[in-house]
Amino acid sequence: MSLPEPSTSGRFGEFGGRFVPETLVPACLELEKAFRSAWADPTFRGELDALLADYAGRPSPLTECHRLSEELGVRMLLKREDLNHTGSHKINNVLGQALLARRMGKTRLVAETGAGQHGVASATAAALLGMECMVYMGEVDMQRQALNVFRMRLLGAEVVPAMSGSRTLKDAVNEAMRDWVATVESTHYCLGSVMGPHPYPWMVREFHTVIGTESRQQCAELLDGGVPDVVTACVGGGSNAIGIFSGFADTEAELVGVEPAGGAAVGRGVPGVVHGMKSYLMQDEFGQVQEAHSISAGLDYPGVGPEHSHLASIGRARYEQVTDAEVIDAFQLLSRTEGIIPALEPAHALAWVSRDRAALAGRTVLLNLSGRGDKDVAQMMDVLG
């Protein structure tokens, strides 16, 4: 393992921790204990690996992009998380958490969702394992993402509108946590990124290290035992990024996370506490959490996972910001040159490579293609006319 465990209090440097009400502390401790034991248990690991292979379709391929490389003057390798079942990296985490919940004797999953992608993934895992599933979603998001609401219901989940605050993702997180406190005997809270109170940032990272482990081996085969010069990924909460970074943290590879300019928690945030963790957070002058704005609903979160805050503060990773206009160009660039329509989230990472192509000339860049673009084509049809 190339990224260390957090401290016993769940800290990555000064970030992370477990900032929850007293009533939630026992649930977090129980979860940490259960995860630690499961992760060390070859039977659990074998079950999860079998599901990742036979259900999710792992290992995902590594694709060398010849035409894109020629156009950019940068050797581009894509880790194809877009080819997983349900269309993104999210399945790695939800299969892990659902299996863990079952092992803990729980019969019900609650989840929060913004754009709906994590809700759909959670509903998928619940259907597969025969568990009940309740997904909290801001009322505003439910209207914006009606198709995903329908998908979740089709998969047998109940979707509950979060009516408080701005009626978006951060309100859905609060309601999911409230549900968990009240029902912890039967319920596991299936959190969607490397966020929240300890042990979530660590546990969710571990469920995504499969991306980094596979990539490291695939790169070694392609690059004669070498590693790419740069490893890049988009950062919302930061789960797909930490997953691929984990495979290269012990190498010379530069690690670059890419945020939307309108949701740049690392780039424009300050340390604060929200949703059970200390991390960089976009706040106004009064310390109120600011709304994030991005063309990609999946990156619309004002915070970031605490380990990214730590990696930024020690200089092991750096974080770049791109605009919606740059993302729209990158979305078309990959479609046109490689026949791969990306999700708007990983198009952020490509947007940065494309903008910095002069500085990256001749180097090898591994980009985590976290998801496929099917969910975004209708929106892009409107944007592009």
Ligand X SMILES: *Cc1c(COP(=O)(O)O)cnc(C)c1O
Please give the positions annotated as active site. Answer: 65, 89
Tokens of 325: 């206009």
Near ligand X by CB under 6 A, which window of 48-56, 138-146, 237-245, 316-324?
237-245
The residue (of 48 and 244) whose beta carbon lies closer to ligand X is: 244
User: Counting contacts by CB under 6 A, is residue 193 touching ligand X?
Assistant: yes
The residue (of 196 and 228) whose beta carbon lies closer to ligand X is: 196
From CA 264, how far away is CA 292, in angstroms rounded?
Answer: 8
Give the DSSP letter of residue 296: S
- CB of 209 vs ligand X, minimal distance in Å: 13
Which residue type, as a one-letter code, is found at position 355? R
Using CB under 6 A as the binding rule, the residues of this chain from 330 to 359 that contact ligand X are 343, 345-346
Per-residue binding string, ligand X, 107-136, x by CB under 6 A, is ----------x-------------------
User: Counting contacts by CB under 6 A, is residue 269 touching ligand X?
Assistant: no
- CB of 160 vs ligand X, minimal distance in Å: 20
Cβ–Cβ contacts within 10 Å for residue 318, how many? Answer: 14
The residue (of 148 and 187) whose beta carbon lies closer to ligand X is: 148
User: Which residue of 237, 262, 269, 302 would you call a contact of ligand X, by CB under 6 A?
Assistant: 237
Peptide bond before residue 59 is cis, with ω within 30 degrees of 0: yes
Taking CB positions, which residue lies at the least distance from ligand X? 371
User: Which residue of 88, 92, 232, 283 would you call a contact of ligand X, by CB under 6 A?
Assistant: 88
From CA 74, how far away is CA 65, in angstroms rounded?
Answer: 10
The residue among 112, 99, 68, 62 whose CA lies nearest residue 82 is: 62
User: Counting contacts by CB under 6 A, is residue 239 touching ligand X?
Assistant: yes
Near ligand X by CB under 6 A, which window of 62-70, 229-237, 285-293, 357-365?
229-237
**Strand, coil or helix: what is 255?**
strand
The residue (of 276 and 371) whose beta carbon lies closer to ligand X is: 371
Is 292:138 a contact under the CB 8 Å cutoff?
no
Per DSSP bridges, beta strands 254-260 and 230-234 are: parallel
Residue that has been written with the tokens 């740069």 in this structure: 230
User: Which residue of 234, 295, 312, 350 would you call a contact of ligand X, by CB under 6 A?
Assistant: 234
Using CB under 6 A as the binding rule, the residues of this chain from 240 to 259 that contact ligand X are 240-241
- Direct distance between the N- and C-terminal alpha carbons of the chain, in angstroms, rounded to an integer: 47
Tokens of 28: 């977090």
User: Counting contacts by CB under 6 A, is residue 144 touching ligand X?
Assistant: no
Using CB under 6 A as the binding rule, the residues of this chain from 6 to 45 that contact ligand X are none
Per-residue binding string, ligand X, 285-324, x by CB under 6 A, is -------------xx-------------------------
Near ligand X by CB under 6 A, which window of 63-71, 140-148, 236-244, 264-272?
236-244
- CB of 194 vs ligand X, minimal distance in Å: 6
Tokens of 148: 């995903």
Chain-centroid distance of CA 155 in Å reads: 21
From CA 131, how far away is CA 72, in angstroms rounded?
Answer: 47
Tokens of 214: 């596979």
Per DSSP bridges, beta strands 254-260 and 317-322 are: parallel
Tokens of 270: 């300050």
Give me the residues that bind ligand X (CB under 6 A), please.
Answer: 88, 90, 117, 193, 234-241, 298-299, 343, 345-346, 370-371
